[in-house]
Amino acid sequence: MTHGTDTSDRGRVLAARVESFVREVIIPHERDPRCGPHGPSEEFVHEMRGWARDAGLLTPHILADGSHLTHRETALVLRAAGLSPLGPVALNVAAPDEGNMFLLGRVASQDQKARFLQPLINGSKRSAFFMTEPAGEGGAGSDPSMLKTTARRDGDYWIVNGRKAFITGARGAGVGIVMARSEEGATLFLVDLPDPAIHIERILDTIDSSMPGGHAVVRIENLRVPASQVLGESGAGFKYAQVRLAPARLTHCMRWLGACVRAQQIASEYAVKRQAFGKPLIEHEGVGFMLADNRIEMKQAELMIDWCADVLDSGAAGTVESSMTKVAVSEALFRVADRCVQVMGGTGVSGDTVVEQVFREIRAFRIYDGPTEVHKWSLAKKIRDEALKAAGGVMSR
Amino acid sequence: MTHGTDTSDRGRVLAARVESFVREVIIPHERDPRCGPHGPSEEFVHEMRGWARDAGLLTPHILADGSHLTHRETALVLRAAGLSPLGPVALNVAAPDEGNMFLLGRVASQDQKARFLQPLINGSKRSAFFMTEPAGEGGAGSDPSMLKTTARRDGDYWIVNGRKAFITGARGAGVGIVMARSEEGATLFLVDLPDPAIHIERILDTIDSSMPGGHAVVRIENLRVPASQVLGESGAGFKYAQVRLAPARLTHCMRWLGACVRAQQIASEYAVKRQAFGKPLIEHEGVGFMLADNRIEMKQAELMIDWCADVLDSGAAGTVESSMTKVAVSEALFRVADRCVQVMGGTGVSGDTVVEQVFREIRAFRIYDGPTEVHKWSLAKKIRDEALKAAGGVMSR
Amino acid sequence: MTHGTDTSDRGRVLAARVESFVREVIIPHERDPRCGPHGPSEEFVHEMRGWARDAGLLTPHILADGSHLTHRETALVLRAAGLSPLGPVALNVAAPDEGNMFLLGRVASQDQKARFLQPLINGSKRSAFFMTEPAGEGGAGSDPSMLKTTARRDGDYWIVNGRKAFITGARGAGVGIVMARSEEGATLFLVDLPDPAIHIERILDTIDSSMPGGHAVVRIENLRVPASQVLGESGAGFKYAQVRLAPARLTHCMRWLGACVRAQQIASEYAVKRQAFGKPLIEHEGVGFMLADNRIEMKQAELMIDWCADVLDSGAAGTVESSMTKVAVSEALFRVADRCVQVMGGTGVSGDTVVEQVFREIRAFRIYDGPTEVHKWSLAKKIRDEALKAAGGVMSR
Amino acid sequence: MTHGTDTSDRGRVLAARVESFVREVIIPHERDPRCGPHGPSEEFVHEMRGWARDAGLLTPHILADGSHLTHRETALVLRAAGLSPLGPVALNVAAPDEGNMFLLGRVASQDQKARFLQPLINGSKRSAFFMTEPAGEGGAGSDPSMLKTTARRDGDYWIVNGRKAFITGARGAGVGIVMARSEEGATLFLVDLPDPAIHIERILDTIDSSMPGGHAVVRIENLRVPASQVLGESGAGFKYAQVRLAPARLTHCMRWLGACVRAQQIASEYAVKRQAFGKPLIEHEGVGFMLADNRIEMKQAELMIDWCADVLDSGAAGTVESSMTKVAVSEALFRVADRCVQVMGGTGVSGDTVVEQVFREIRAFRIYDGPTEVHKWSLAKKIRDEALKAAGGVMSR
């Protein structure tokens, strides 16, 4: 409504193509036995990406000249991709690759782009972002002083040592971005994977199951990285992580909104066809109201995403806005998915439809990229600071 | 963000002037003893409107040529007006006048406009909309067959008989719009008030207290109306009511969002200044998280309002969109107001700040203009119809 | 079910008599014009107590020998009393008198009982508990170091100075219990009221309206109290306040549960009689489910109250249990009252039934006697301490 | 508190022994690789039951003389068993066996008991209850006219044909109870399993994973059952199902409450040990309040269970009470489990502790044994009938 420009037609046209592709090509393969508890196999990912490439839809948010769609356009495209839990991986717009490509596009040197970004864009490799440490999200993830992985100079090389946890997609990845603490502070290193110095200790069994490679616990022992593979400048790692952070949160919201659109559609059709106590389920207000609540909450999620996308498109960092959006959208979509499950009764908790998986994935989403409580904590601090400032003047009545 | 045009600058500039006026001129009078349980007195309303007129801000949403601001611009202006429960009345953008002016602007003849609309626009009279009947919202409000007030022709006149309930502002109004059932169906009549045939039986004691005249129970006995005072055509009353309905719902949302912005501001400053257990209240996450939730929910309310306003500005009826927005915004703002009360403890449930009143008003708002459940009921029907249609094809997996 | 003894038959028989009295004698007077925003007038209270005395039901929880019903029996009786917001005052089981009588019964000397307790028991006087200070609940209410009202010895007298806020029933009370800080610590003083040294600055306008005298802000200037009027020992004031605290919280729960039983009854009958969209309201699941939720939540409230009563009857202090019960019951009853309002639409937010008042009263109850958040804060500390202790051993898997 | 008798000492002593057994013997085996997505393997079940038998704790709720513990005592024992998801199976108090044993104990003939009940009590066989049909819970589960599986007489035999869904534990069971529609109405048949006429079409992939054999879709083709294997009388199947229903719902509540006690313990210890933003997680109110909410909701769950157990122990059918309890407890425990997950962040959604499984199991519990909405629907009908009856008299004010 608010955009009538060529630009957004571009987004809409692309999103429509992506939706057709996901519905016609990907969804029929959702039960492929190569989808396991730690996500689709590398072989299956490769196969799906081939289909996307043939359809001219691989990595659709990055244009031939290396420029990206606007965040607002991306919202349309990624929502369409998210209609299947396999869609983002098939189209190469999934986490963590999408965020990693965004980061490298902003910060990497031309040589680094050629070597590490290009294979991600053409979908031949996957990547992983080695930031979180076993001490937890609240640990190294957000507090430089808690980052325990170290990097020390050794001539033209860096030697990295430490442990990492919840490293999504590490197993099977071809490109790694590793955060470690140097003398100058947090620093990001680009590495080829696999590397014998990066031991995957185990893959966590998690409630979600859409991400190839799952989530790994990793030990880094004397990883040797040439100085040319430092991303940007040593000590600026947190600044770069911030560049990646807000958009990555937001694309998560986009994809899972798509998944909920699908779940709602499945639940609605189920409720139309199934009878209970003498009439179709959907004629029961107890069911109809749940679907109505979903409709409203999904619209709100869409509006929050578009709002935050506009903020990012304006060039702002969007830290607060993406926190607000992540909290609102992840919590709302969890309620949406939960209601879809409930509407469908026994079928809802079974793998007979994708609704059950969507519910599990979104449960995890309330924690990944910062649990709801961490975002509220930051937001509360901001409100405090504003109120303190305002209270410097005359108190409101 | 999404509008950079002259048009919306117009809205922003006007809203800024309204905000200053409300904060500087109106808020200092919130404790005027002429504010009673059934709203501010007529004298006080008149006085405040004089101030608004002097500031060039009376009826700010209707321009000199009779045209209106866009709904999107109106959202900015009415939110600013709503910063005080007295603001909308002072500025002449309150319910039911705002909706009545909108309706008359769309449907009334030139003669009718001169006689009934003009005094509303210049703020010299107030108006009331006589639709709801004692049988309840779910009765005459939404179902023509349940409309019991009758209108029969008597030469060039109509004779109207019936009872009405929850008629906001009837006492003290100068203009009435009365819905009755003629042979052709629901019909709207314009009448001068007071009229001896329209007996105000009593003013209801209600939890809210912002609307002048309160909410009346009314008996209409042999009200005699000239045929020239039929609004539009006989039998088309429900169609016209729909014209009024969606925008009226939406302006309610705008005004009460403004009230919550104020409540949040008061609660935040309170939480900064008050200590509990050794630190300012706002340093307690139990308090800070409530204010953070409020921040998020008010942003969502704003986005829903803007979205629905865009729909109305596009020329669509917006029935579904305004239902969704009314449910989402009224329920969210209630949670917001409730949290503001809670943050402020004993002070929150006292009249020492306006927060207590905002809480009461918004409790009523969840019911006025259609309780949440009625809107969900309609929405569920729509979802059913769409799902039935979709299920005509292949079922989703 | 769990009690088949004579003792509880005593409670049941008495509760049945109280219920009849409230329904037949008190409820018909709920619209008495002497009920204002600051509660029923003294004259009306006196009149109602006369009726209760005649029925042999005044102060029913205290027996002729000065002993009290068990807390479990009291639960039955006070729930019956609470069926009307006027019931507890009429029967002399309302806050703060009920808690004050409990405290004096436990701590006062024989002389003090004769002079200060007896007139409370026979209902000829009301009382007030002067603890909270303007700095707020979180202030003097819970932290001795924040108690600012002072008491200094002057021969055989004490001189008390300070300010108090939210002093329920202070206006019109004949007996006061004043907390002040002496050299030994918090101390309670018994005083006759009115006393020129205790100035009632103003009565707060609050959302609730059931308590005679309302809630006062009070200034104490050179109040002179004989040493014989110290309650218990100087410095032990907080210990005594604790004696009063847990039972007083619990009787609040009992009374308001009764009020919700009544609201649910009114809403259910309304929903049976009113039609919407072609059938009685109650046939709509959107309404029926709300009433079902209420039924469940009121049962849970009853069980929590009985559980906590059993704890108190066992002789335990019940601090944690009464906190848990207060939180659970006040929050649940608020949802119950809110749903009753919503079921009844416009009528629900009007004073045409007592439901609207019950909603307002229970909103305040979530704050009075410690806001929900303060109780959760204490409970969280307890959980932390237990977990720390447990974690001293082997961690749970 | 309310029971001081020998009887309940019996329950407490037994519960303490069960708790020790579960904590010391079962919990260390929770990661046994024989626990798969469709529950522990038959071999592992057999092995665990051997340990329980050695400890004298197999089938602890049924005494040597065939009598059962009271429901109230059972609550203590099953809560202890539920501390591990493996506990109920190990101790032979899991669904559906526990309910099936209860039913057979009430209805089976001596011969039937010897043949079908005894092997269940001694834990050598498992059982399944074949009631639900693919049309869904709302179908055959609750409406005889929708029961599609047929039973027709053929001499001294019955021939049963139909399809069943969500048949928990069917694969691997040795005893089946099959519901089918005969001329007289719903009828229950006892059968030895496996039987070639009962084809297990597939095991559903469900979100839960604690029940051996998982949940099966089953086709019954010309199953031949001797007349002596009719349970009770032909046509009385629904009456018997009701006998089983209320207690079976309640034992589910007991077991899952135990699981939440465990999850809360794990989450609390985690929150004590993990740091975020400079202090232990549990010192953050955002975390501490969640644990406090859990404490309160688990107490309420316990009280509802005990109340309903008392109702059943009094000999009443407890249909309404067990519906209320099932709704309240399953919804509350889901919130509890969800909060435990959230408190633990990434670890909470991983299989590193049992919390993630508890969350998944309880999600399913909100649907199994009747989704929340079906119970509210029944309860709403009951409230309507009571209100109709009450409204026959004078309306409440």
pLDDT, tens digit, 9 for 90 and up, residues D274-328: 988 889 999 999 999 999 999 999 999 999 999 999 999 999 999 999 999 999 9
Q: In this structure, which amino acid lies at residue B64?
A: A
Per-residue b or e along A243-255, where b marks 16 or more CB atoms closer than 10 Å to that residue's CB: bbbbbbbbbbbbb
Tell me the nearest-neighbour CA distance from B65 into chain C, angstroms: 38
Structure tokens at A150: 């170290």
Name the residue among A234, A246, A222 with its Cα closest to residue A319.
A246
Rounded to whole angstroms, how far apart are CA atoms A63 and C93? 76
Residue with tokens 């410690």: C370
Looking at B314-354, list the stretches that DSSP marks H as alpha helix, in order from N- to C-terminal side: 319-343, 345-348
The alpha carbon of residue B134 is apart from the nearest alpha carbon of chain C, in Å, by 10
Residue C396 is predicted with a pLDDT of: 55
Cβ contact A286–C284 (<8 Å): no
| Predicted confidence (pLDDT) at residue C276 exceeds the cutoff of 90 | no
Give the per-residue pLDDT at B5. 47
Residue pairs spanning A and D at CB distance below 8 A = 133
Closest CA to C366 of B361, B341, B334: B341
Among residues A40, A21, A43, A20, the alpha carbon closest in space to that of A30 is found at A40
The fraction of chain D above a pLDDT of 70, given in percent, is 94
Closest residue, chain A, to C287 (C-alpha): A285
φ/ψ region of C136 (left if φ > 0, alpha if ψ in -120 to 50, else beta) reads left
Tell me how far apart the alpha carbons of residues B167 and B335 are, in angstroms, rounded to a whole number: 27
When the pLDDT of each residue in chain A is averaged and rounded to a whole number, the result is 94
DSSP A124: S
- D396 close to C266: Cβ distance less than 8 angstroms: yes
Q: Check residue C222 and give left, alpha or beta (phi > 0: left; psi -120 to 50: alpha).
A: left
Q: How many CB atoms lie within 10 A of CB D222?
A: 10
3-state helix, strand, coil in chain A (%, to 5): 55, 20, 30
Q: Which residues of A touch C284 (CB under 8 A)?
A: 285
pLDDT of residue D123: 97
How many whole angstroms separate alpha carbon B121 and alpha carbon D25? 81
> Does the distance separating the beta carbons of A284 and C289 come in below 8 Å?
no
User: How far, rounded to the nearest angstrom, does the alpha carbon of residue B55 sit from its chain's CA centroid?
Assistant: 23
CB-CB contact of C78 with C254 (8 Å): yes
Residues of C in contact with B372 (CB under 8 A): 342
Closest-CA residue of chain D to B290 = D286
Amino acid symbol at C238:
F
B75 CB neighbour count, 10 Å cutoff: 25
Amino acid at B109: S
B-chain residues near A282 (CB < 8 A): 380, 383-384, 387
Instruction: For residue B376, report the phi and psi dihedrals to the nearest 5 degrees.
Output: -65, -35
Among the partner residues A165, A274, A363, nearest to D349 by beta-carbon distance: A363
On the 0-12 / 13-18 / 19+ scale of CB atoms within 10 A, A30 is middle
Point out the residue among D2, D27, D268 whose CB comes nearest to the CB of C397: D27
The contacts of residue D139 (CB under 8 Å, 6+ apart) are A275, A276, D132, D133, D146
Separation CA A174–CA B320 (nearest Å): 49
How confident is residue C397, by pLDDT bands cut at 50, 70 and 90?
low
Inform me whether the pLDDT recorded for D3 exceeds 60.
no
Whole-number Cα distances in Å, B204 to B92, B170, B214, B216: 23, 12, 7, 6
Say yes or no to pLDDT of C28 above 90: yes
CB C325 within 8 A of CB C308: yes
Q: Are D360 and D208 in contact (CB under 8 A)?
A: yes
8 Å CB contact of D349 and A206: yes
- The overall average pLDDT reported for chain D is 94
**pLDDT bucket at C143, cuts 50 / 70 / 90:** low
Region B162-181 average pLDDT = 97
CB B69 within 8 A of CB B308: no
User: With the C-alpha atoms ordered D368, D373, D377, D382, is the resulting torsion angle positive or negative?
Assistant: positive
| Mean pLDDT within B237-244 | 93
User: Which residues in chain A have Cβ-Cβ distances shorter than 8 Å to B353?
Assistant: 396-397
Q: Which residues of B touch A330 (CB under 8 A)?
A: none
The answer to whether D134 and D148 are in contact (CB under 8 A) is: no
**What pLDDT digit, counting tens, does each position of C113-127 carry?**
999 999 999 999 999
Give the pLDDT band (50/70/90) at residue D134: confident
pLDDT at B139 over 90: no
Amino acid at site C299: K
- Nearest-CA distance D74 → chain C (Å): 16
Give the C-alpha separation, A258 to A255, whole Å: 5
Q: Name the closest residue on chain D to residue A206, using Cα atoms.
A: D350
- Predicted local confidence at residue B390, as pLDDT: 87
Query: Chains touching chain C at 3 or more Cβ pairs under 8 angstroms?
Result: A, B, D
Under the banding of pLDDT at 50, 70 and 90, the label for residue B58 is very high
Q: Please indicate if any CB of chain C lies within 8 Å of the CB of B349.
A: yes
Work out the widest C-alpha separation in chain D, in whole angstroms.
79
Residues sharing a CB contact under 8 Å with residue C67, sequence separation 6 or more, in sequence order = none
**Measured between beta carbons, which residues in chain D are less than 8 angstroms from residue B286?**
285-286, 289
Q: Which of residues 140-199 of A touch D (CB under 8 A)?
A: 142-143, 165-166
Residue B136 φ/ψ, nearest 5 degrees:
115, 165
Distance CA C276, CA A200 (A): 63
Contacts of B284 in chain D (CB under 8 A): 285
Higher pLDDT, C328 or A134: C328
pLDDT at B2: 43
On chain B, the residues whose CB falls within 8 A of the CB of D285 are: 284-286, 289
Q: Do B296 and A327 touch (CB under 8 A)?
A: yes
The Cα C396–Cα D139 span in angstroms is 42
Q: Classify residue B314 by burial, with Cβ atoms within 10 Å: 0-12, 13-18, 19+.
A: exposed
> Shortest Cα distance from B277 to chain D (angstroms)?
13
Residue in B closest to D285 by C-alpha:
B285
Residue B392 pLDDT grade (very low, low, confident, very high; cuts 50, 70, 90): confident
A198-212, C178-192, C223-237, D131-145: which range is least confident on average?
D131-145
Burial class (CB in 10 A: 0-12, 13-18, 19+), A371: buried
Tell me if D286 and B284 make a contact (CB, 8 A cut-off): no
Examine the predicted complex and report whether its ipTM is higher than 0.90.
Answer: yes
Q: In this predicted structure, what is the pLDDT of residue D5?
A: 47
Q: Has residue C97 got a pLDDT over 90?
A: yes
Q: Is A280 on the interface with C (CB under 8 A)?
A: no
- Look up residue B69 and give its two tokens: 């601001």
**Residues on chain C touching D300 (C-beta within 8 angstroms):** 300, 303-304, 328
The answer to whether the CB of B212 falls within 8 A of the CB of B165 is: no
* CB atoms A395 and B269 under 8 Å: yes
Ramachandran area for residue B375 (φ above 0: left; ψ -120 to 50: alpha; else beta): alpha
Percent of chain C whose predicted confidence (pLDDT) is above 70: 94
Instruction: Tell me which residue in D351, D359, D367 faces A342 most closely, judged by beta carbons.
Output: D367
Among all chains, which residue has been given the structure tokens 């004696």?
C243
Vertex A391: Cα angle to A388 and A395 (nearest 5): 155
A306: left (phi > 0), else alpha (psi -120 to 50), else beta? alpha
Q: How far apart are CA C187 and CA C234, in angstroms?
A: 5
Prediction pTM value: 0.96
Mean pLDDT of B15-20: 98
Angle at CA of residue D218, ends D216 and D224, nearest 5°: 135
Closest CA to D13 of D89, D87, D77: D77
- Residue B373 at interface with chain A, using a CB cutoff of 8 Å: yes
E strands within A241-348? 275-276, 279-280
Task: Compute, in degrees rounded to 10, the torsion defined by CA atoms D278, D280, D284, D290.
Answer: 150
Percent of chain A with pLDDT over 90: 90
**Alpha-carbon gap, residue A377 to B272, rounded angstroms:** 16
Q: Do C387 and D289 touch (CB under 8 A)?
A: no
Percent of chain D with pLDDT over 90: 91
Distance from CA of D38 to the nearest CA of A (A): 12
pLDDT of residue D4: 42
Question: Which chain C residue has its CA at the smallest distance from A289's CA?
Answer: C286
Q: What is the pLDDT of residue D144?
A: 56
- Tell me the residue type at C341: V
Show residues of chain A in contact with D132, CB under 8 Å: 346
Interface test with B, best of C133, C290, C350, C374 (most B CBs within 10 A): C350
Beta carbons of C241 and D359 less than 8 angstroms apart: no
CB count, 10 Å around CB of C5? 8
Share of chain A above pLDDT 70, in %: 94
For residues B104, B110, B116 and B120, what is the CA-based torsion angle, rounded to 10 degrees?
70
